[in-house]
Amino acid sequence: MSKTYAGRFFEDYAPGQVIEHAVPRTVTAGERALYHALYPARHALYSSDAFAQSCGLPAAPLDDLAAFHVVFGKTVPDISLNAVANLGYAEGRWRASVWPGDTLRAVSEVIGVKQNSNGKSGVVWVRTRGLNQDGVAVLEYVRWVMVRKRDPEAPAPETVIPDLAPAVAADDLVVPPGLDFTGYDVTLAGEPHRWGDYEIGEQIDHVDGVTVEEAEHMMATRLWQNTAKVHFDATLRPDGQRLIYGGHVISLARALSFNGLANAQLIAGLNAGAHANPCFAGDTVRAWSEVLDKAETAAPGVGALRLRLVATKGAPFELKGDDGKYLPDVLLDLDYWVLMPV
């Protein structure tokens, strides 16, 4: 029998299954430095221990998206190795900060399955939790993927579609213990714009662009121990290109959004997300944001902002065509909550 793992197929999933993902990972200052080398990340809370301490935290935590990528990467061999498409995210919450020295692992529960009408594939919903070495959940989110069937003749399972919230309620966002923005230094943070300065419906062009290289996205994706072949093996496509991990585009866009959202320090919730079109080396990625909602929090000086973050190869503020489909230049449409000084 082959000792090589071929991944799970659609018929291998059933609601209620709990999958403990392999290869726990200790993250350190090394991962933090690499995050800054791979993305133009400048949010001060993650860049500076001293700044984080001035905001009530013991030190600068690992970037929220680095934590997300590590947890996501753990799930790939079990969830998306045979996935045709990464369809969506929902109910994502960052529940505890990740510190250098923490060891992360991931556990997923299957919460929905639905065979496609073509009988060749189906959609699988999982709720994934990232846990640290103490078993504390640092992150949880739902994602759903389209997965091939091993045997097209296998019977369709009973359809179970989970009831997912359209967005995380502001009251459910977790503010890190101790976070206090009452003494927040806008000069050191880089921009004067506070929570009160943003209006629902406001759009921001983040102006800068980054042209992506193969070596960069492969190093990032390897760092997260994401094993999906399409990101690394140039022989899989006739054009010799490697598909860039969608999370790489999320981090690029988030980092670019510093210019206009420098004070959107922490990511607290992930409401929805679509990888609208594939990204390849040579693409120049730009970003724009739209303010979707605002909420207060109980923490001193801390407000929450719900943002749409769009990564694009084209012009800002263009998203979908008359047919309701994403325009070809759009790479990412992300709906998330941030915490910032009021």
Q: Where in 221-280 is the site for a copy of itself (CB under 8 A)?
A: 222-223, 225, 227, 229, 232-235, 242, 259-262
Q: Is 200 one of the binding residues for a copy of itself (CB under 8 A)?
A: no
Q: Supply 82's token pair.
A: 């045979």
88, 106 in Cβ contact below 8 A?
no
Identity (one letter) of the amino acid at 229? K
* x-or-dash string of contact with a copy of itself, 52-81, rule CB under 8 A: --------x----------------x----
119-138 positions binding a copy of itself, by CB under 8 A: 133
CA distances 26 to 23, 132, 189, 247, Å, are 10, 9, 29, 20
197, 250 in Cβ contact below 8 A?
no
Q: Is 117 one of the binding residues for a copy of itself (CB under 8 A)?
A: no
Among the listed ranges 3-11, 88-96, 176-184, 303-311, the one in contact with a copy of itself (CB under 8 A) is 3-11
Q: Assign residue 171 a region (left: φ > 0; alpha: ψ between -120 and 50; beta: otherwise).
A: alpha
305, 264 in Cβ contact below 8 A?
yes
Q: Supply 280's token pair.
A: 């390849």
Q: Is 194 one of the binding residues for a copy of itself (CB under 8 A)?
A: no
DSSP type of residue 329: T
C-beta of 144 vs 224, nearer to a copy of itself: 224
Minimum CB distance to a copy of itself, residue 306 (Å): 17
Among the listed ranges 40-48, 121-129, 160-168, 326-334, the one in contact with a copy of itself (CB under 8 A) is 40-48
C-beta of 22 vs 165, nearer to a copy of itself: 22
Residue whose structure tokens are 């990101």:
231
How far is it between the farthest Cα atoms of the chain?
Answer: 63
Rounded CA-CA distance 283/105 in Å is: 32
C-beta of 93 vs 193, nearer to a copy of itself: 193
Q: Is 216 one of the binding residues for a copy of itself (CB under 8 A)?
A: yes
Q: Is 37 one of the binding residues for a copy of itself (CB under 8 A)?
A: yes
Minimum CB distance to a copy of itself, residue 15 (Å): 21
Q: Is 220 one of the binding residues for a copy of itself (CB under 8 A)?
A: yes
CA distances 33 to 36, 142, 149, 267, Å, are 5, 28, 40, 19
Minimum CB distance to a copy of itself, residue 189 (Å): 6
Residues 14, 18, 29, 136: which binds a copy of itself (CB under 8 A)? 29
